[in-house]
Chain A
Amino acid sequence: MKFLDQPPRFLFFTGKGGVGKTSIACATAIRLADAGRKVLLVSTDPASNVGQVFGISIGNRITEIATVLGLAALEIDPQAAAQAYRDRIVGPVRGLLPETVVKGIEEQLSGACTTEIAAFDEFTALLTDSALTADYDHIVFDTAPTGHTIRLLQLPGAWSGFLEAGKGDASCLGPLAGLEKQREHYKAAVDALADPQRTRLILVARAQQATLREVARTHEELATIGLTQQYLVINGILPDSETETDPLALAIHKREQAALQAIPAVLQTLPRDLVMLKPFNMVGLTALQHLFDDTAPTNTVAVDSPLELNEPNLSDLVDEIAKDEQGLIMLMGKGGVGKTTLAAAIAVELAHRGLPVHLTTSDPAAHLSETLNGALDNLTVSRIDPHQETERYRQQVLETKGAKLDDKGRALLEEDLRSPCTEEIAVFQAFSAIIREAGSKFVVMDTAPTGHTLLLLDATGAYHREISRQMDTTGLHYSTPLMQLQDPKHTKVLIVTLAETTPVLEAANLQADLKRAGIEAWAWIVNSSVAASRTRSPLLRQRAANELREIKAVARQHAQRYAVAPLLQLEPIGVERLRALVSHQ
């Protein structure tokens, strides 16, 4: 592995949920410790399975791993860090200020930014010289801060006012005002991150086009900030040997090889390592010690028992949706889980049943409107480009609201506008005109705003609600977008996930976030399930067996109703293949 060659003190692994960051970070830490180095492994994985991996309980304190000489670990729970931060701010005024006021404050501090900055706060002590970490040759992190967070910390404008004087202008960094450390600590931490002598960033991806595109964006963003020492690891590649026995395995192999061939140009120059898919779970020392081996160990786990998956499929869900004859159907989930494909499949099936449908998508790939527009009588397709919408929104804000700002203020406003919330808001605004159509037909969308965004939107709608109360007395009807989304007769939110630990956990967090906004997810879809396909490849059957536990968790703990959609040999493009996805049995 190239990324393990002469590693600096700090190693950061970054990539989206489910690509295997934590496993690779664990395996790296073990490898370094086995080579005689003193290593601290820091995990912020919400699934937090580092303890499970080593068979001990770790938690938020440095814990020696007895089975690996020289290795210690620490788990940081970003949600708990954010909660602790909220409690510090809100706790003292609980009972003193009206309950609704306290709730409003808590919501402001419940966004993704707060969570990230609170987690970064926990990092800083580990990145700057301290007695805590002096003993360790290497500190391995299974996550990295985003470009947005680092840039904010670098902006001089962000630090004026609140942070130094405790008064004055707020900023997106406002959350830091309640944090305990001083500016110098954050600066030292950011300096350490941007120092190639001290820090190596390892981008973790899968051999999938969409994932590689996303990694390319992360690479460019972090390189611009100064994190120039980057490596690329592509995890979970299906080996050649599997393709002989099974058409699905062959199709996956071809797709992966094509994705590797077409790897984005900016990633081509990075030192690259490939990690093969292993026929065992990444739990336990032995498994992790073999993660980087090229030759699969011979003790392949046999999965001889037939995997008879008798789970509800998409057509069951569509039957129920169709009964209402109209309404808003929103698919929600992390990037890469297949929201767009599933939205298209549901829309096509509804239209095929003679129901009027408007499918609207934010997928950058344009083929949907090309292949579907005019293909069915009752189906219209429209597309919204998230980058265009976000850019338009940013320009509009900068030109109008930022016109009078000085350079520092303008830089800060620009960075605030690069926050993940901004894109969500811009896209949702673009969709909201179409949403109104849902009173007379089906509107199917491949995106949905988070509960946090909805609650913030609704706070600005307080004035409108006041008006609506006055209008109600005159017999006029008024409803805010949030009220519309909260009404199960009007809106159905479908949460899309993969049958893997981290994606299921992330989906559960999305659901909890919606619940805070008073929206109940109507159903879950477990997408790209190998268990729901009929594969004979031993490696894929092992993966299928692992999926069963996750599908069970979705069915029993998370979803009020659910469906499982299979991983397909062919990409579902066009009416026929999309319909096949719904009626697959």
Chain B
Amino acid sequence: MSTIQIFDPALCCSTGVCVVDVDQQLVDFSADVDWAKQNGAQIERFNLAQEPMVFAENPVVKGFLERSGAEALPLILVDGEVALAGRYPNRNELTRWAAINVIEEKDASSCCSGSKCC
């Protein structure tokens, strides 16, 4: 099973409402992460404002910050290698990296991703 690591920019709220333009990606992504975890994916998230040490100790992440700065986050590593940078992955990408059974995914989101509305 692959490990997906998400390195978030510094946010005082995950919902990002402290920042003027609430990032829709971020809100959606939080929901996608929950879904992927329920399907067995191994996902870790690190917020730059809360666990900066994790960023500093990982040479790939550290190098990325030195080259591109914090404004280029988020950075997504899969098994320690850069998989994506500058935006959050969508559900398909998470599915591929975590090797989640696609049929299962279709079942889960057959009408509207959530569980209550159907």
List residues of A whose CB falls within 8 A of some B CB.
89-90, 92-93, 96-98, 100-102, 104-105, 107-109, 111, 113-114, 162, 166-172, 174-175, 177-178, 397, 400-402, 404-406, 409, 412-413, 416-417, 419, 421-422, 425, 429, 456-457, 459-460, 462-463
Taking a contact as CB atoms closer than 8 A, the residue among B13, B21, B30, B50 that contacts A178 in the complex is: B50
Query: Could you tell me the distance between the alpha carbons of A100 and B15 in the complex, rounded to whole angstroms?
Result: 23
Residue pair B71, A397 in contact (C-beta under 8 Å): no
Residue pair A175, B12 in contact (C-beta under 8 Å): yes
Residue pair B55, A416 in contact (C-beta under 8 Å): no
Contacts of B48 in A (CB 8 A): 101, 104-105, 108
Interface size of B by CB at 8 A reads 40
Residue pair A463, B15 in contact (C-beta under 8 Å): no
Interchain Cβ contacts under 8 Å between A and B, 17 examples: A89-B52, A93-B52, A93-B53, A96-B62, A111-B18, A114-B12, A171-B13, A172-B12, A174-B14, A401-B22, A405-B27, A417-B17, A425-B20, A456-B12, A456-B18, A456-B19, A460-B19
Taking a contact as CB atoms closer than 8 A, the residue among B11, B62, B66, B114 that contacts A174 in the complex is: B11
Stretch at the interface among B39-47, B77-85, B95-103: B39-47
**Besides A172-B18, A404-B31, 11 other A-B contacts (C-beta < 8 A):** A101-B70, A105-B70, A162-B47, A170-B11, A170-B47, A178-B50, A401-B27, A409-B30, A413-B17, A421-B17, A456-B19
Least CB distance from A93 to B in Å reads: 4
Least CB distance from A328 to B in Å reads: 19
Residue pair B56, A93 in contact (C-beta under 8 Å): yes
Taking a contact as CB atoms closer than 8 A, the residue among B14, B28, B50, B53 that contacts A404 in the complex is: B28
B60 interface residue per 8 A CB criterion: no
Residue of A at shortest CB range from B46? A167
Least CB distance from A273 to B in Å reads: 39
Residue of B at shortest CB range from A459? B19
Q: Which 8 A-B pairs have the closest CB atoms?
A: A170-B14, A96-B56, A108-B49, A462-B71, A93-B52, A108-B10, A401-B27, A93-B56
Residue pair B50, A90 in contact (C-beta under 8 Å): no
Query: Could you tell me the distance between the alpha carbons of A236 and B53 in the complex, rounded to whole angstroms?
Result: 51
Least CB distance from A9 to B in Å reads: 34
Residue of B at shortest CB range from A114? B12
Query: Could you tell me the distance between the alpha carbons of A169 and B27 in the complex, rounded to whole angstroms?
Result: 10
Contacts of A97 in B (CB 8 A): 52, 55-56, 62, 65
Query: Could you tell me the distance between the alpha carbons of A462 and B71 in the complex, rounded to whole angstroms?
Result: 7
Provide the main secondary structure of the chain A interface: helix
Contacts of B10 in A (CB 8 A): 104-105, 107-108
Contacts of A96 in B (CB 8 A): 56, 62
Residue pair B14, A171 in contact (C-beta under 8 Å): yes
Query: Could you tell me the distance between the alpha carbons of A175 and B51 in the complex, rounded to whole angstroms?
Result: 11
Taking a contact as CB atoms closer than 8 A, the residue among A90, A397, A429 that contacts B22 in the complex is: A397
Residue pair A400, B24 in contact (C-beta under 8 Å): yes
Contacts of B13 in A (CB 8 A): 170-172, 174, 416, 419
Residue pair A168, B15 in contact (C-beta under 8 Å): no
Query: Could you tell me the distance between the alpha carbons of A421 and B17 in the complex, rounded to whole angstroms?
Result: 9
> Given A174-B14, A416-B15, does the pair A162, B24 have CB atoms closer than 8 Å?
no
Residue of B at shortest CB range from A166? B51
The digit string for B55-79, where 1 denotes a CB below 8 A from any CB of A, is 1100000100110011100000000
> Given A90-B52, A93-B56, A404-B114, does the pair A460, B46 have CB atoms closer than 8 Å?
no
Query: Could you tell me the distance between the alpha carbons of A541 and B15 in the complex, rounded to whole angstroms?
Result: 52
Residue pair A89, B49 in contact (C-beta under 8 Å): yes
Contacts of A104 in B (CB 8 A): 10, 48, 70
